Chains A and B, each alone.
Chain A
C-alpha cells in the first residue's frame, strides 16, 4: 500500500515570454521507504517536492492525473485541508537554516508556535515537548538553544533545529530538500546520522532531494534521477553502479576522486534523445 502516489505531475510557470515547464510528467509512488530524487539545477526536483505540498504560487500551476496521500486526493483538497496536512502529516526540511528559520523569533518560540496554535497545548507542555525534540537531535544544551536566535547558531545547529521543528508533530512523510548542502563536510555527516536515526525510529517515509548522487545512494532505498523535468531513471540504491541510463552513468563518472587519474574528467554527453 503506497503512502504517496503521483501520476503525471506537471508544473508550469506562466512567464511574460511564454509558459515554462519545470516538471514534465513525473510519476512515482512511495511506501514506507526512503526515496531519493537526484538532479542538477533545473531538473525540477525541488519543484516536485513543493508540488506534493501544493506550495507553488502563481504564476506557477500544478497539474497531475492523480496525486494522493494516504487515500486523500491532494489535487482536489482545499487550501484548508492542505494546511491540516502540512506539518502534521507531511513535513519539509529546506536547505539553508539561515533562510528557513524566522530570524526575528527565538528558536523556542518557533518550536512551540505550532504546538500551541495547532495542537492547543499550554505553554509548559509545549516547552517540554520542544526541549525533548531538541534533545532528540542531539543538541547538548537545549535550554540555551531555546532562548537563542537563529543567527546565533552555527549552520549544523540551525539545521538540527529545523529537523527538530519538523519532527515535533510526528509527520508520516518527510520531504528533505537538500538538507545538508549548505553545511561543512564534517557537519554533514553528523546531521545525516541524526536524520537517519530519527527517520528509522519513527518509521517515517522520506523523500530526499539532492544534487549529490552518491550521498543519496548511501542514504536511500530507491533513487529517481531527474533531468529537465523528467525522470530518466529509477534504480535501487544498491544497484546504482549498474545504472544503465547515459545520464546517470555520466553523473557518476564526472566527479573527481581523491587519488583518481589526472586526465580530463569525463563530461556529460547531452546529445541523446533523452536530453530533449
Chain B
C-alpha cells in the first residue's frame, strides 16, 4: 500500500464564466520515504494537484488516499499532523505582521503541544538559522531565509509527508543550492516523503526518485531518474522539455 494514492483525479473550476479543467484524470502513487516529482510548464496542473490534496482546490473526480484512508472532506487536525506544504513564494507564505516566533509557535498552539519555546529554537537551528532571528519580521529576512522559516514551519507538527510547491523557483541560484541541500538532509534525517512540483527539470532530477511529466492538466509520462538522465523518454513533449533544459547544460563542466 503506497503512502499517497492518487486515482483518476480531476479538478475543474469556474473562472470568468468558463470551465477550467485544471487536472484531468491523473493517477500516480508515492511510496513511503520516496521523493516524487511533478514537472511541467505553467498551466500543466501540477500545483493544482498539491492544492487538491490540501483541500485548497475542489476535487471534482477521482480519489486521494493517504495511508490507505480517503481524505476527509474537511481536513482537520489529524490531516495537519500527517501532511504539510511548503509554498512557492517566500515573500507571500509568511504572515507579514507576525514575528517568526509567532509563525513557528502557532501550529503548536493550535494542537496544544507544550514546550513551544524550546521547540521554536530547535526548529530554527534545524534549518540552519541563528536563534537570534526568532523575533524578526519576514521583511527583515532574505528570500532564502524566509523559505527556511517556511520549511521549519511545515516541520513543526512532524508530518510524514511534505508537499513542496516550487520551493526554490523564487530564489537565487546559490540560495537554491543551500535550500535543496537542506531539504535533502531533512528528508534523510526524518524519513520524510516528498511530493515536489517544479518547472525546472534539473531541480526535479536532483531531488526526486521518480518523475511525472504533465501538460495541460494531463499526465504525459512517468520516468525513473535513471531514464531521465539517459534521455530515455518515450513521448515527444517530455523530450522537448528535456531538450529545452538540457540545452543549458551543454556549457557545464
| A–B contact, 8 Å CB criterion (strictly below) | yes
A215, B245: Cα distance in complex, Å: 11
Q: Cβ of A71 < 8 Å from any Cβ of B?
A: no
Q: Cβ of B31 < 8 Å from any Cβ of A?
A: no
Q: Are A211 and B249 in contact (CB under 8 A)?
A: no
Q: Are B41 and A185 in contact (CB under 8 A)?
A: yes
Q: Cβ of A259 < 8 Å from any Cβ of B?
A: yes
Q: Are A186 and B177 in contact (CB under 8 A)?
A: no
Residues of B within 8 A of A257 (CB): 202, 205-206, 249, 252
What is the interface of chain B mostly: helix, strand, loop, or mixed? helix
Interface hit among B74-82, B114-122, B236-244: B236-244
Q: Cβ of B229 < 8 Å from any Cβ of A?
A: yes
| Closest Cβ–Cβ distance, residue B227 to chain A (whole Å) | 11
Interface hit among A59-67, A100-108, A169-177, A263-271: A263-271
Of the candidates A214, A260, A267, the one whose C-beta lies within 8 Å of that of B206 is: A260
Q: Cβ of B73 < 8 Å from any Cβ of A?
A: no
Of the candidates B143, B173, B200, B205, the one whose C-beta lies within 8 Å of that of A254 is: B173
Residues of B within 8 A of A262 (CB): 206
Residues of B within 8 A of A251 (CB): 173-174
A188, B244: Cα distance in complex, Å: 9
Q: Cβ of B189 < 8 Å from any Cβ of A?
A: no
Q: Are B251 and A214 in contact (CB under 8 A)?
A: yes
Q: Cβ of A92 < 8 Å from any Cβ of B?
A: no
Q: Are B201 and A258 in contact (CB under 8 A)?
A: yes
- A/B interface sample: 30 pairs, CB < 8 A: A40-B174, A41-B172, A185-B200, A185-B201, A185-B244, A185-B245, A186-B41, A186-B241, A186-B244, A189-B247, A212-B248, A214-B249, A214-B252, A250-B174, A251-B174, A252-B252, A252-B253, A255-B173, A256-B177, A256-B180, A256-B202, A256-B206, A257-B202, A258-B229, A259-B228, A265-B177, A265-B206, A267-B177, A268-B174, A268-B177
